Amino acid sequence: MTQTARLYGGSLYELAAEEKLTDTIMEQMLEIRKIFRENPDYVRLLSEPSLPKKERTGLVEEAFGAQAERYLVNFIKLLCERNILMEYAGCCEEFVRRYNADHNIAEAVVTSAVGLSGEQMKALKEKLEKLSGKKISLVQRKDASVVAGLRVELEGKLLDGTVQSRLSGISRRMKETVI
């Protein structure tokens, strides 16, 4: 994340907190980020310097003006005007980081070979909440190389319960014993 994204995302968060709109703006920010990811040509158009700023901000108003919180629409327009719309994803990250810090929420990324069921996700979330003492926001990723078990990243710590990790541990202990 760039310094620009930290600055802008943090400023939007402070405004949203002051206006008691953090939940609403975060939800809308993440939805718009998803729209931007699904439509990269639209983002390129909004970032095109040959297109007058007034036209770019008009496109933002047309797309989001009636649906999104006014502060968020104006924020996106500001990014367009300053030719830094590509920083939007980083601004979202900073907003979410600040929100999570203020609400005692930790994000945990769980990686498995196959998707976990809702029941498994709930059980894992409860266990991680007890372990960390925080509310947990779980993000699920699939990686076929995991083969079996789970790998969880939580607040900079890696909890690796994969078969590969266990086999590596056994192999390491065997080498230590033999030497």
Per residue in 99-126, pLDDT (tens digit) is: 999 998 888 888 887 788 889 888 988 9
The Cα–Cα gap between 136 and 128 comes to 7
Q: Strand 157-160 vs strand 135-142: parallel, antiparallel, or unpaired?
A: unpaired
3-state SS class at 19: coil
The predicted model scores a pTM of: 0.73
Ranges for all domains in the chain classified under CATH 1.10.520.20: 3-100
Tell me the fold of 104-178.
Glutaredoxin (3.40.30)
The answer regarding whether domain 3-100 maps to CATH 1.10.520.20 reads yes
Q: In terms of Cα–Cα distance, which of 69, 44, 71 is closest to 59? A: 44
Q: Which helix (H) or strand (E) holds 14?
A: helix 3-18
Give the span between the Cα atoms of 16 and 48, in whole angstroms.
28
Q: What is the pLDDT of residue 179?
A: 57
